């Protein structure tokens, strides 16, 4: 696995020079299957990128065990790029993966805004991109080469609205959203529409921007409306800070959210202030499903701790891609040969990635660790959601909601 960090010119020059010498990139004659991966290894939400990297790495380990790391006799290699948690950097690194490294497919991103920045590049180049966990509907609407392994926000928003209205019997909720995040803005709308539809009222809506540190003015305005809960469709760093400041201001109502909360850093940042909170997610580690438990065991052995759902989704994304590559080799070896690095830039490569796209699109009942994956006509996965409650400083499985 090749890891390249940042995009400063001198760093890029050195790394590209090194890759030309050592990595066997396009035109070098080395026969291999090169897959790109990008994520936020640094920045405001670095566990998203690290978990994605770990999940893909574990999938590669399994491929090494089952077939010496090869598909169709060719070794699989990944190139990992850090987008620093910024959409503009996501576009830069994916442009590099597509044009410089000439990868056959791209895995990423977690945050919808960053996937939306990169997806048009993959679509134009006809390179399949699989987002493990971007939930905003607009991501796969970019084009037919863009896929995702997770449920989407219209479903997730409805799940949490019904959980609030039916399970918790709440009628009045306030919302605190990240106004610069496509994920947060979209999930706010879908949650609000669903909650109002079942008789609830949104009593206040306040906004912040990722990276903010002080949320007391917004929380003070929310407190004045006396909501029964606060829905926070943001990412874990801000959510943890918001929880602590809410409790400091005497706001003791439940906090609710979506899968953007999922990180092992959430509880470390929010601490006891998160007790009583709940959020929608892609799996619960106490689910006895043997596929999930096997994944957990291998992850713990390799990385020394529990994975979050982001890692599980990345593991599934990599395996769906590997399965599709294997199918292409079995069904059309001549076309499969176009995926080899020596065919980069050729008509054979374009034909191969088009056929690879078609095979990814037919994914049906793939046995993932985050549930069985079937892609619909819009290339979105139809899967159940779980709700995790936070009790005594721990994430506890609460309920499962089917699509």
Q: In Å, how far are 3, 69, 86, 202 from 110, measured between CA atoms? A: 18, 25, 12, 28
Please, what is the Cα angle at 157 between 135 and 142, to 5 degrees?
30
Q: What is the pTM of this model?
A: 0.87
Residue 324 lies in a domain: yes
Q: Is pLDDT of 55 > 60?
A: yes
Residue 251 lies in a domain: yes
Residue 392 lies in a domain: yes
Residue 378 lies in a domain: no
Clarify whether residues 252 and 396 are in a common domain: yes
Spatial CA neighbour of 77 closest among 116, 117, 121, 30: 30
Residue 4 lies in a domain: no
CA pair distance 116, 120, nearest whole angstrom: 7
Clarify whether residues 393 and 260 are in a common domain: yes
Give the domain CATH number at 350: 3.40.50.2300
Q: What is the pLDDT of residue 275?
A: 97
Q: pLDDT band at residue 20, thresholds of 50, 70 and 90?
A: very low
Torsion of CA 148, 378, 370, 198, to 10 degrees: 120
- Average pLDDT score over the chain: 92
Tokens 């799940």 label which residue? 159
Q: State the number of CA atoms in the 13 A half-sphere of 360 facing the CB.
A: 33
Q: In Å, how far are 34, 107, 131, 209, 220 from 313, measured between CA atoms? A: 20, 11, 9, 26, 37
CA pair distance 174, 164, nearest whole angstrom: 12
Contact 218, 275 (CB under 8 A): no
Clarify whether residues 250 and 164 are in a common domain: yes
Total number of domains constituting the chain: 2
Clarify whether residues 94 and 109 are in a common domain: yes
- Residue 81 structure tokens: 């790029």
Clarify whether residues 299 and 254 are in a common domain: no
Strands 371-373 and 366-368: antiparallel
- Residue-number span of the structural domain to which 94 is assigned: 33-151+289-372
Residue 23 lies in a domain: no
Q: CB under 8 Å to 374, separation ≥6 — which residues?
A: 363, 364, 365, 366, 381, 382
What does the pLDDT look like over 298-347, one tens digit per residue?
A: 999 999 999 999 999 999 999 999 999 999 999 999 999 999 999 999 99
Residue 266 lies in a domain: yes
What does the pLDDT look like over 364-378, one tens digit per residue?
A: 999 999 999 999 999
Clarify whether residues 258 and 344 are in a common domain: no
User: Rounded mean pLDDT of 249-253?
Assistant: 97
Clarify whether residues 159 and 275 are in a common domain: yes
């Amino acid at each position: 696995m090749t890891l390249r960090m940042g995009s400063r010119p001198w760093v890029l020059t050195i790394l590209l020079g090194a890759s030309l010498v050592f990595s066997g990139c396009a035109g070098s004659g080395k026969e291999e299957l090169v897959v790109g991966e990008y994520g936020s290894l640094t920045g405001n939400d670095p566990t998203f990128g690290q978990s994605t990297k770990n999940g893909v790495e574990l999938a590669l380990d399994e491929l090494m065990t089952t077939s010496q790391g090869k598909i169709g006799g060719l070794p699989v290699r990944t190139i990992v790029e850090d987008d620093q948690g910024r959409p503009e950097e996501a576009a830069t690194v994916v442009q590099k993966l597509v044009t410089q490294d000439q990868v056959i497919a791209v895995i990423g991103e977690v945050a919808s805004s960053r996937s939306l920045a990169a997806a048009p590049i993959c679509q134009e180049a006809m390179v399949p991109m699989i987002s493990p966990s971007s939930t905003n509907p607009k991501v796969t609407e970019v084009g037919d080469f863009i896929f995702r392994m997770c449920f989407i926000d219209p479903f997730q928003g409805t799940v949490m609205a019904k959980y609030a209205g039916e399970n918790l019997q709440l009628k009045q909720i306030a919302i605190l959203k990240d106004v610069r995040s496509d994920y947060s803005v979209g999930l706010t709308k879908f949650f609000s529409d669903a909650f109002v539809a079942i008789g609830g009222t949104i009593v206040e809506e306040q906004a912040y921007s990722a990276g903010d540190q002080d949320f007391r003015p917004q929380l003070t305005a929310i407190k004045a409306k006396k909501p029964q809960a606060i829905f926070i469709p943001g990412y874990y760093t801000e959510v943890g800070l918001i929880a602590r400041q809410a409790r400091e201001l005497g706001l003791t109502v439940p906090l609710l959210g979506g899968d953007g909360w999922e990180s092992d850093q959430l509880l470390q940042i929010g601490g006891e202030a998160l007790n009583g909170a709940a959020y929608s997610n892609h799996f619960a580690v106490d689910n006895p499903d043997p596929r999930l438990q096997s994944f957990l065991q291998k992850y713990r052995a390799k990385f020394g701790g529990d994975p979050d759902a982001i890692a599980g989704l990345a593991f599934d994304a990599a395996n769906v891609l590997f399965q599709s590559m294997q199918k292409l080799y079995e069904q059309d070896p001549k076309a499969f040969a176009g995926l080899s690095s020596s065919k980069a830039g050729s008509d054979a490569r374009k034909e191969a990635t088009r056929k690879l796209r078609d095979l990814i699109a037919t994914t049906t009942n793939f046995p993932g660790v985050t549930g069985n994956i079937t892609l619909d006509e819009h290339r979105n996965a139809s899967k159940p959601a779980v709700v995790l409650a936070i009790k005594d400083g721990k994430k506890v499985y609460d309920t499962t909601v089917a699509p």
